[in-house]
Structure 1
Amino acid sequence: MPVLIGSYADQYSTYDDDFKPLAPPVRTPAPSYLAVGPTGVRYAVAELDGGQVSAFTPDGALLGTLPTGGGSPCHLALAGDHHLLAANYATGSVAVFALRPDGSLDRQTDLAQHAGASVREDRQEGPHAHQVTVRGTMVHAVDLGMDAIVHYRLSPSGVLEHFHTTTVQPLGSGPRHLVFHPDGRVFVANELASTVATYTSGFELLDVKPSCLVQPVGDNFPSELVVSRDGRLLYVGNRGNDTITTFAVEPEGLLPIDEVSTGGTWPRHFALLDGALCVANQHSGTVTLLELDRDSGVPHPARVVLEHPSPSAVIPVDR
């Protein structure tokens, strides 16, 4: 399965199953996060003060660029074939874009501005939308600055209708990313508290666990979460410890079972690739692969498969 590597180095790259480049890097400003549309179009944020999103053909030709209406867009999500959403971290908003039939960007259809703050004056002085996730007609925006998950309904015309806001507890947790389990439960990585929380499908808090087994020497900031394909395991990245923690998903909650080095520094993002975890280690400029044990699903020690400037996202291309 080909894979895209996003970065802060003004380029994204495409590699094959053996991590050989399939094409020259595509030059574009700060493409820290990417998404692949149903027509194969690649979408890339420009994580700048004046945020942008661009669309590219699979071979890297620019199809168009639109402003996101906010600062430092850091995450993208597709809503079917018709809309693309972007989370603006610096200004705390969620933008919606209509897509043309060929997958190119048409226009911005909405911009939902968050408002609020929380207890950490250094990181939560205002809203900071960090991730946007789409499930059916529902959109869930994780806001680190507000200590909140903001829930919307997305209309057929691309308008976000506020449904509910979940306040994360305890305050100061700083939620970053969430992932849904097949049974409906929701797992949330709390960046500022170095924890992972479990919620019901209705976003009622069930449990909170430390995101690592090894006590951090300094700060530790969880990043991405991935659920195994069979739903038995949850993997959580740790920036600081520079590890992946494996949790068993039990009926009563998460059971920590292992923590292994990513083989690099500052694992900002990772993805599941054909029986392995592929990790973007931002500060060491490396992409590593951690093979998963066939029986237990626990990652084996990492090996470096790529040197890449400031890698920040690993996006599998399954079409």
Structure 2
Amino acid sequence: MPDTLIWTGSYTADAGGNGAGIGALLARPDGSLEALGLAAACESPSFLAVHPALPVVYAVHEHAQTVSAYRRTGSGIALEPLGEAWTAGAAACHVAVDPQGRFLVVDCWGDGQVLLYELDASGAIASRRAAEPSQDPYDAGRPSRAHAALTLQDGRIMTTDLGHDLLRLWDYVPGEGLRHTQDVVLPMDSGPRHLVQHPGGTVFVVTEYSIEVAAVRAGADGRFELAAMGPAGAAEASDGDAAAEIALSPDGRHAYVGVRGSNRICTMRISDGRAGDGRAGDGGTRLEPVADTPSGGDWPRHHLVREGWLHVAHERSNDVVTFRLDPESGLPAGPAGRLETGSPTALIVGGSA
């Protein structure tokens, strides 16, 4: 099994952080991590994405309100700018790449913008288009807070809006941008943040404010509906808690939710919704909290599940803590290691090292 390259996002001095830009880690099959150094010096690349076929990394610079493409040069870790930085929106906090490498979607927490950037054959950004703005379904006068995007198995794009408690569905129209097709409304003040899609089709969404996971899935007509919603952790949320990331195990049997404040990783078991005697249940995929594990640091902002290991990036304690995952229970054991790095905010696999 080869070593794996992991790119790290960070908060830098412009955001009061201790990072220096985009970093690189070497992840070995035994779970150990080695810092390879700084790949690109830049301001607060708080979230990253990797082109599916080219040696190109994309970063949103949250406080500079831009998005940039970086090209890997040679066999080392160095990243050089691929074209100029493009204007994004206020507090641009997430970038996602189309699995076919046609476009990026950038979500902006500060002003609620969802932005589409088309890519050229080299992976460089070629155009920018703003999507239709969100409307508060509760008519409560709250600001829109777009936060994350995911390309679904059927090619549609789903984005989250923390401020409006919405999941928004889009079609990509080449040369035109994103065409809004549907909204799924979640309970008021739940705060949908990040999302993943299970191989069975259900999309799981972690809610930052209510510390829950929502399960949504498409019906026969292709429209998504909220199927279930429940607590992310085995323990109740504490004052000051804020859920961050959700990730699935490679076999699809477990999900992991990071909770800042109480600083824990919540392990959840995934079932197919069948009754105990084997009869079909609700026909969907459900999550059940199993146990909570201390994350090993302060403010677990992002985490990565990789080949039997869980790597947790702690923004405030300036480290990445590694846990071994039990293959049967799915529970983290350890910590098995700790690597110091400045204000890490994202861990993104970049391929074989």
Using structure 2 for the length normalisation, give the TM-score: 0.84
**Pick from 4, 20, 25: which aligns with 1:15?**
25
Report the equivalent of 1:198: 215
Report the equivalent of 2:234: 213
Report the equivalent of 2:15: none
Residues 1:94 and 2:114 aligned together: yes
Structure 2 Cα separation of the partners of residues 33 and 65 of structure 1: 18
Residue 286 of structure 1 and its aligned partner are, at CA, apart by 1.0
Structure 2 Cα separation of the partners of residues 118 and 268 of structure 1: 28
Structure 2 Cα separation of the partners of residues 217 and 223 of structure 1: 14
Report the equivalent of 2:70: 56
Residue 66 of structure 1 and its aligned partner are, at CA, apart by 3.3
Contact map agreement 1:66 1:107 (CA 8 A) in 2: no
Q: Give the alignment's Cα RMSD to 1 decimal.
A: 1.9
Structure 2 Cα separation of the partners of residues 31 and 173 of structure 1: 27
Structure 1 Cα separation of the partners of residues 185 and 238 of structure 2: 29
Count residues in correspondence: 314
Structure 2 Cα separation of the partners of residues 127 and 292 of structure 1: 37
Structure 2 Cα separation of the partners of residues 119 and 12 of structure 1: 39
**Rg comparison, structure with higher value:** 2
Report the equivalent of 1:309: 342
Structure 1 Cα separation of the partners of residues 288 and 238 of structure 2: 23
SS of match in other structure, 1:77: strand
Contact map agreement 2:211 2:237 (CA 8 A) in 1: no
Report the equivalent of 2:169: 151
Residue 149 of structure 1 and its aligned partner are, at CA, apart by 0.7
Contact map agreement 1:133 1:141 (CA 8 A) in 2: yes
Report the equivalent of 1:45: 60
SS of match in other structure, 1:106: strand
Amino acid at match of 1:30: S
SS of match in other structure, 2:334: coil
Distance change in 2, residues 1:215/1:137 (3 Å)? closer
Equivalent residues in 2 for 1:1-319, closer than 5 Å? 1-9=4-12, 10-17=20-27, 18-37=32-51, 38-48=53-63, 50-58=64-72, 59-79=78-98, 80-108=100-128, 110-117=129-136, 125-135=142-152, 136-157=154-175, 159-168=177-186, 170-201=187-218, 202-252=223-273, 253-318=286-351
Structure 1: stretches of 5+ with no match in the other structure: none
> Following TM superposition, where does structure 1 have runs of at least 4 consecutive aligned residues deviating by more than 4 angstroms?
118-121
Amino acid at match of 1:220: D
SS of match in other structure, 1:302: strand
SS of match in other structure, 2:175: coil
Structure 2 Cα separation of the partners of residues 39 and 144 of structure 1: 32
Residue 303 of structure 1 and its aligned partner are, at CA, apart by 4.0
Amino acid at match of 2:11: Y
Amino acid at match of 1:185: T
Residue 294 of structure 1 and its aligned partner are, at CA, apart by 2.5
Contact map agreement 1:133 1:139 (CA 8 A) in 2: yes
Contact map agreement 1:138 1:153 (CA 8 A) in 2: yes
Structure 2 Cα separation of the partners of residues 120 and 33 of structure 1: 31
Using structure 1 for the length normalisation, give the TM-score: 0.92
Identity of aligned residues (%): 31
Residue 217 of structure 1 and its aligned partner are, at CA, apart by 3.5
After superposition, give the CA deviation of every residue in 1:99-146 in whole Å (9 maximum; x if it has no partner): 1212122221x111423347798xx82111000111243111100011
Structure 2 Cα separation of the partners of residues 112 and 247 of structure 1: 34
SS of match in other structure, 1:86: strand
